[in-house]
Amino acid sequence: MSELPRAQRAMRALQRLRYCGVQYRRQAYDEWLGVATPGEVRKYHQGWMGKFPQWAMPTNQRGLKDET
């Protein structure tokens, strides 16, 4: 049996997060963050999920210097 690609695992974790009960939401959120890329988090994060993770913010919004 082959393992799903990372992107598909992230989408399945996001689906579980959307439809899980409130008591399982934190665990499902952590599972999704464990497989999602920063771009996926920026695209799909919703306010009800909790605080937006700092590591997923675009580089220029994390307080890093632009190298221009």
pLDDT, one tens digit per residue, over 2-28 is 588 999 999 999 999 999 999 999 999
Average pLDDT, the chain: 87
Give CA separation, 41 vs 22, 37, 44, in Å: 20, 6, 5
In this prediction, residue 1 carries a pLDDT of 47
% of the chain beyond a pLDDT of 90: 66
pTM of the model: 0.79
In this prediction, residue 15 carries a pLDDT of 96
In this prediction, residue 65 carries a pLDDT of 56
